[in-house]
Amino acid sequence: MDRPVVAVVCNTLLVDGRTTVQAVGERNLLALVQAADVAPILIPALPGAVDIGALLSIAHGVLLVGGRANVHPSRFGLDADPRHEPYDEGRDAVALGLIRACVASGVPLFGVCRGLQEMNVAFGGTLHPEVSELPGRMNHRGPRLPTGEFHPDPKVVFADRHVVRLTKGGAFSRLFDAETIVVNSLHGQAILEPAERVFVEGIAEDDTIEAISIREASGFALGVQWHAEYDPQGNRTNRLLFEAFGRAVAQRRHQAGRA
Catalytic site positions: 113, 227, 229
Please, are residues 239 and 232 in contact by the beta-carbon 8 Å criterion? yes
* Nearest to 212, CA basis, from 193, 231, 229, 230: 193
Cβ-based burial of 141 (10 A; exposed 0-12, middle 13-18, buried ≥19): middle
Neighbours of 166 (CB within 10 A): 23
CB 225 within 8 A of CB 249: no
User: For 18-24, which contacts have Cβ atoms below 8 Å and span 24 or more sequence positions?
Assistant: 22/46, 24/65
The gap from C-alpha 52 to its chain's centroid, in whole angstroms, comes to: 18
